Structure 1
């Protein structure tokens, strides 16, 4: 924890926006250098122009690759595109538009030149493709220009195919490989034209008007609860006021400032500016208002993550709110399929497992990455999909799909519905669940690893774990594939009756991540974490 974590950003912490944008246009990547290649992680290609990892050539080549990919898949409809408030998002969107127009792709941008949250773009794609009349014009897909909650110096570029969610690894691997090929060829095969002749779409209006079909807005309005919403300078800044006005809620937009430097932020745990609504350090200025509202929320830069603050507990741990949301939704959504499963990533809390069992619902445990929830959300076989990193979405009242990407705005509104319907804060409801199912302690830490060790960990088979015990308990399972869909987890998970740990390599740093949880207290968690390092190190040799 950095000594300045949770304190206001100072001038020395702020980026030079002009230098960042200048580097975007001037620096040329060399794809022979691994750090300068196009690489798609779980949420698209990310990097910084100053490090020559997110520059004009990257975006031009990636967009051309997307054009070629969608053509190979027979995607002939419009492409929705939107961007968040990061400094690199606007120039990257301009580059993308030039390539899309140059390739004669039908493009839809925001009608009011507003920022576009990730869930609003997913909603737009699905709305188009679920309309027989519009679908007859060709399936739609989309691009979101965002690095999510990453620092102000970063840029991000994500492709969402016609299912509306993050593209799967088959698509992203092809796009990245083709983009790097185009860069190596000096962009000679990239077609560009002036970014004109684009159509518009009211992302905000369509999204806001549809919310009454997934959240009990009337219950919120009747309760007259006081709601505070902080966009943290992100793409939801225009959405919260629109929600208030459209539905007549007692809702205050706590901070309406947009600043690509994020000068108003408090520093995250490591001393960096990071718009993470699940971090107490990043949310320190928001937490100062906790007593002013019945429910206070935060979103990250593209609004796909949520932070829930209550007067009695402050900022809720993301796992805790996921548990409350699941328990509430599966008791208050009679229109969902009776066999609709509860989706969780394998590094989310086992408290979810216990709640799922009590609800009599099937648990669907998948690898890290929201893309795994997409098929189940589309056909209604998964009622709720959530990640420990404060990302989730769920079905409409009638059991049909809402978004297939994470929706932080939706989860924030759900917190208000829960408060309005039950009369209790989500944090008090979690305390009641703890009395029934136990009180887990959860933490993620990093351990140093060489590139070779990281690669080995990503390929590790659960059978390579020789240990029989973990922190004094017999090991009941060693997993290298997810129980829900048998997909490789890119690491290993070790489980006992009262604890578990999972180890996965970092995609950007020379470390591996250890997620661990214990129902036997913090001392036992420390024991689990220490043994996790030893077990993984032995397996890696």
Structure 2
């Protein structure tokens, strides 16, 4: 058994995005590629000598091999201990919980979230801080700087890393603990929600369909929903995590979770439908013939969260990403809660939660969570909805109708134009920014522009500024659209168009119909077709 120093050369494409470094799996499998970035993480955080780290991922192709490489490199770099999920598996929220509960020095999470998996699909890696949340920009920038000048990395050769056996072992001077990936997380959920009330509701006939999309939450959902809450076996479908997600695109939205949507919109729909994504941090909620938008889900949870024991003392405040609809703002105003608007990216919520300003956060991209961890959490959101249903005795459609009657309905939709050539996408955004100052006061059919800006965020906790976080165009009366380029893909650029309009009277329109005028004006102002050649989006949520 020897500690070796392996000579290498920089890869110039290792700049982390909002969710770490994501590339095609074959790129990570290239000689030295993963190792370079892991060494850069270690050096970028000031070294790992004497530190304890959590390691695990969503089980996609190369997850197991990458986990072993990270464990060996941690030993070679002098880490005191690594805690890894059995077989290299950990959902992102479960990893965040372990980092926090074990008071470690951070963790490395292997995931490309909702992106497809397989040798020809996507892979990702990110560092989470001791608070359990994604590394902020100053840390990811430090990591990137190391990647540009790295000349060697350290690797521990020899010995055995048995990821399949729960328990303790050693690799050189470093202790390795392999933990069941589910147990600690299940215990946390039981401390937050009224399992007895939910179990009673299920026993009285509330049937559930949880689509795990052959991804990481299958074992978590089976342990909680079927084993502990008593839902019948088979309530969790696609429950076995597979390296290629069974060929599924593990993104819980109406387009990709189409089997669930077909069932929930059918005549024999279960009482409650839900889905989660590749690494378990996203969710979709569906009732019988009633799709709940992520923005509405956040608002309903905010309005009812205190029915869950873990939140009975009330919420400290709420936060949403800027592109998310203002539905939760109306709830916060009614409850007298502070409501924060942040850029997209959970790390911004982490600052607010660590400072004790908010308990509940949400993004329109199917991410909802609370201060129990520092990541969004798909299974948590599902249990919150079940707790609300158990406490109120109301179905998903009834909860939505009651909510809209009280607060109005923020009709909302996101249109994704995927894999646009990056230069064309950049030119489109540059052109839009160039004409923002002239948009105010212009009329487009019945819509008059009130304000238009390039969103910049001043963090109230650390004073940092994040500029160019999305272009906003707001019309008189409150309708608006937002445009931004997503940082979660691996090919080209994804243009996201978000459209929103508040209606205080009519709650039963199809969102695409209700928003048709805003969508048309957005296409005209942004010039989507002229720059991208696309007239229709790839995904509508």
- Inter-CA distance 465–348: structure 2 relative to 1 (3 Å threshold): farther
TM-score, scaled to structure 2: 0.79
How far apart in 1 are the matches of 2:306 and 2:473? 29
Residue in structure 2 matched with residue 7 of structure 1 by the alignment: none
- Inter-CA distance 423–114: structure 2 relative to 1 (3 Å threshold): farther
Q: Quick check: which one's strand share is greater?
A: 2
RMSD value, Cα: 3.3
Residue in structure 2 matched with residue 350 of structure 1 by the alignment: 326
Matched, 1:466 2:451: no
- Inter-CA distance 338–292: structure 2 relative to 1 (3 Å threshold): closer
Residue in structure 1 matched with residue 146 of structure 2 by the alignment: 178
How far apart in 2 are the matches of 1:337 and 1:476? 39
Q: Could you say what secondary structure the match of 1:298 adopts?
A: strand
Residue-by-residue CA offset, 1:6-34 (whole Å, 9 max, x unaligned)? xxxxxxxxxxxxxxxxxxxxxx99835xx
Aligned length: 478
1:307-456 matches, cutoff 5 A: 307-313=284-290, 315-329=291-305, 340-394=316-370, 401-445=371-415, 451=423, 454=426
Cα offset, 1:347, TM superposition:
0.6
In structure 2, runs of 5+ residues without a counterpart are: 1-7, 162-170, 504-510, 532-541
Residue-by-residue CA offset, 1:463-509 (whole Å, 9 max, x unaligned)? 63533246434444434224875642423212233311112134453
How far apart in 2 are the matches of 1:191 and 1:327? 51
1:212-361 matches, cutoff 5 A: 212-223=190-201, 224=203, 225-244=206-225, 247-250=228-231, 252-263=235-246, 273-277=248-252, 279-287=253-261, 289-290=263-264, 291=268, 293-313=270-290, 315-329=291-305, 340-361=316-337
Cα offset, 1:217, TM superposition:
1.6
How far apart in 1 are the matches of 2:386 and 2:288? 13
Contact kept, 8 Å, 2:96 with 2:375, in 1: the verdict is yes
Which of 114, 125, 133 is residue 165 of structure 1 equivalent to? 133
Residue in structure 2 matched with residue 96 of structure 1 by the alignment: 70
- Inter-CA distance 452–261: structure 2 relative to 1 (3 Å threshold): closer
Residue in structure 1 matched with residue 500 of structure 2 by the alignment: 517
- Inter-CA distance 253–391: structure 2 relative to 1 (3 Å threshold): same
- Inter-CA distance 285–245: structure 2 relative to 1 (3 Å threshold): closer
Contact kept, 8 Å, 1:61 with 1:180, in 2: the verdict is no
Q: Could you say what secondary structure the match of 2:89 adopts?
A: coil
How far apart in 2 are the matches of 1:45 and 1:330? 37
Q: Could you say what secondary structure the match of 1:159 adopts?
A: strand
Cα offset, 1:437, TM superposition:
3.2
How far apart in 2 are the matches of 1:49 and 1:114? 17
How far apart in 2 are the matches of 1:170 and 1:243? 38
How far apart in 1 are the matches of 2:501 and 2:459? 22
Residue in structure 1 matched with residue 519 of structure 2 by the alignment: 529
How far apart in 1 are the matches of 2:136 and 2:439? 33
How far apart in 1 are the matches of 2:313 and 2:467? 28
Residue-by-residue CA offset, 1:187-246 (whole Å, 9 max, x unaligned)? x34444346422223442111112122222222123233333232111122222322476
Contact kept, 8 Å, 1:336 with 1:380, in 2: the verdict is no
How far apart in 2 are the matches of 1:98 and 1:455? 44
Contact kept, 8 Å, 2:305 with 2:312, in 1: the verdict is no
In structure 1, runs of 5+ residues without a counterpart are: 1-27, 130-138, 266-272, 395-400
Matched, 1:193 2:165: no
Cα offset, 1:64, TM superposition:
0.6
